[in-house]
Amino acid sequence: MQTTETKSKVKPINCSHYINGKYVPSTNGKTFENVNPATEEVLGTVAEGGKEEVDEAVKAAKKALKGEWANMPVRKRSAILRKIGDLILERQDELAALETLDTGKPLWLSTSVDTDRAAYNFHFFADYMTTVGNESYQQDDIAIHYAVRRPTGVVGLINPWNLPLLLMTWKLAPALAAGNTVVMKPSEVTPMTATILAEICTEAGVPDGVVNMVHGFGETGAAITSHEDVDAVAFTGETITGSAIMKSAAPTLKKLSFELGGKNPNVIFADANLDDTIATTLKSSFINQGEVCLCGSRIYVERSIYDEFLDKFVAKTKELKVGDPFNEDTNVGALVSEEHYNKVLSYLDIAKEEGGTFLTGGKTADNMDKGFYVEPTIITGLGKDSRCVREEIFGPVVTVIPFDTEEEVMEQVNDTHYGLSASVWSSDIKRATRVASQIEAGMVWINTWFLRDLRTPFGGMKHSGIGREGGAHSFDFYSELTNITVKL
């Protein structure tokens, strides 16, 4: 298990743009500070890009579309993707430490989930890309129709701060597998692992110009989404930003893939295995400080077990240790930034105003002098129209609400603008599948949470997203199909 010793061996990096195979500064020399949310110390500087840097990155990506990358055999491109995954694992300790320094999440989480899954994303698509087939149809003795697949083109990849490396690789791997070139924009608050990832791609054999990266703020993202030579944009982040990207991309009719916010329900029936339910609900509530789009922050419990569930759930939550992300026994680290920390605290004030009861948490962590720490918080007594029940908080905060009938809970579960994911807990599989099929969400888990097969569709409905990722669904976005008809 890695400890504070790992931190001492890894030095934070100053982050430059990566354009046409080289690290470059901003043309105007502008930078901004990268702050460690666990200590409030400055980790280093980040180049602040804008339209000029985006133009250079897009130019390099467009040129690379017609070079060596375009004519590379599938098996060679697959080998390069596999090498990227291998190099991520070779540098796993370094990448995990940088991820923890950037995000404030526990080091064990950066290692066992973020970096491990980042490598697997490349290994998975390295294999998957060699098996992708296309449609063909014989129309009696009149004609044969068949489809051919080509890259979408230059793709903008705009990434959030909660799972920076994992989610960037979740987009980058299939984009490269399908033969595209990319311009990445990592979140301004978590720039370090993306900066290393660009270098890893070149080391693995990706030709110059295929993978480019520009750091910056919202105007940098806007320059990517509105650029006439960017053919598609894949974005993970909040719903409001997704709406802004749609407006920015509309004049050039780009392809768009959005994985946006969620206010996900966790429905627990009386016949559920309570020990398994509580153990998993603890994770789905508070892992990564609740900064996961799939977290089950609305917990609905059948009334006959409501008190028993709360007693056990509260007791287990109070055992979670909030502390230094580099300590191996820390369960909950720091929130990602001061801005987000203040947002989460504002919702705790709202819950108090709305008459909520705090069974645990509800405040900053008493044991930490520096950093943006909030205690895991369980709130009861809020109505279905409460802002804390309806709006995405994206922190270690959950609400628990009792229900009496299946019809009642289904009405509350679907009474939301969001539709990303849900969990259903019941030993009656017939009922569980019936309920799951009625939930308006892109992904529903029965008696589990966050169990993923990368071939399955990943994404949300309503305000939670547009399109799906994973397996063939990723390839459909990152490629274009041409149907060819041959008259017999």
Residues marked as catalytic: 259, 293
Quick one: CA dihedral 301, 302, 307, 309, positive or negative?
negative
First to last CA, the chain: 65
Roughly what angle, to the nearest 10 degrees, separates helices 116-128 and 164-177?
Answer: 10
DSSP annotation of 320: P
31 and 46 in contact (C-beta within 8 Å)?
yes
Q: In 3-state terms, what secondary structure has residue 149?
A: strand
State how far the Cα of 169 lies from the Cα of 88, in Å rounded to an integer: 10
Task: Residue 30: count other Cβ atoms within 10 Å of its Cβ.
Answer: 14
Give CA–CA dist 467/401, Å, rounded: 31
CA distance linking residue 190 with residue 164, whole number of Å: 7
Cβ atoms < 10 Å from Cβ of 107: 26
Which long-range contacts link 337-341 to residues 24+ away (Cβ below 8 Å)?
Answer: 337/35, 337/37, 337/161, 337/189, 337/372, 338/35, 338/37, 338/40, 338/372, 340/291, 340/372, 340/394, 340/395, 341/37, 341/372, 341/374
